[in-house]
């Protein structure tokens, strides 16, 4: 088994040099070990979480509109997925932006925020209605987000 200093559960540091090394190794078609591949995915997750957290007000505003019944469930689900898609695209652009990543810092709140957003995403994917179930989940998520944001 290959050893690494990267701890998937507890590491909150973004090791730019290590990330760049893994990206370069992958881009030259060298095979990453399973552990290196997991490590690269983990680093990319940090970047995605950062993007989502930096745009947290978009989610908060959308949840507020739905809770205040300014938009219906179908509009909420569509807008939620549009916001999410936009943020994934932004994150994809940052994966190779080494100038930005050189000073990148992991935000602990970003992970907690994204756990809620991921849960909402799954709910929106599974429930495409205006029912009370969706409203209850959104309202609960909004309260959790208020604690984080």
| Mean local confidence (pLDDT), 139-147 | 84
**Nearest by Cα to 144 from 107, 112, 98, 103:** 112
* C-alpha atoms less than 13 angstroms from C-alpha of 105 in its C-beta half-sphere: 3
How far is the C-alpha of 145 from the C-alpha of 139, rounded, in Å? 10
Confidence at residue 5, expressed as pLDDT on a 0 to 100 scale: 47
How far is the C-alpha of 104 from the C-alpha of 47, rounded, in Å? 9
Phi, psi of 75 (to 5 degrees): -65, -40
Band of the pLDDT at 70, cuts 50, 70, 90?
A: very high
| DSSP 8-state code for residue 129 | S
Please give the residue that has the higher pLDDT: either 137 or 75: 75
Q: What is the pLDDT of residues 124-136, one digit of tens each?
A: 877 655 566 777 8
Confidence at residue 6, expressed as pLDDT on a 0 to 100 scale: 45
Band of the pLDDT at 9, cuts 50, 70, 90?
A: very low
| Mean local confidence (pLDDT), 32-44 | 94
Token output for 35: 């552990």
Domain boundaries, the chain: 16-148
Residue 20 in contact with residue 98, Cβ under 8 Å?
A: yes
Q: Packing angle between helix 73-94 and helix 56-67, nearest 10 degrees?
A: 180
What global pTM score does this model have? 0.81
Token output for 138: 């959104």
Confidence at residue 132, expressed as pLDDT on a 0 to 100 scale: 64
């Amino acid at each position: 088994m290959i050893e690494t200093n990267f701890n998937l559960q507890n590491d909150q540091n973004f090791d730019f040099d290590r990330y760049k090394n893994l990206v370069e190794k992958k881009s030259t078609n060298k095979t990453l070990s399973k552990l290196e591949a997991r490590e690269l995915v983990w680093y990319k997750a940090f970047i995605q979480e950062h993007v989502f957290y930096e745009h947290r007000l978009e989610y908060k505003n959308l949840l507020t509109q739905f809770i205040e019944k300014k938009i219906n469930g179908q509009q909420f689900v569509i807008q939620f997925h549009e916001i999410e898609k936009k943020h994934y695209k932004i994150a994809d652009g940052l994966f190779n932006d080494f100038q930005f990543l050189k000073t990148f810092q992991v935000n602990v709140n970003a992970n907690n925020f994204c756990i809620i957003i991921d849960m909402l995403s799954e709910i929106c994917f599974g429930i495409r209605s205006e029912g009370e179930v969706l409203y209850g989940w959104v309202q609960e998520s909004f309260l959790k987000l208020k604690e984080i944001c």
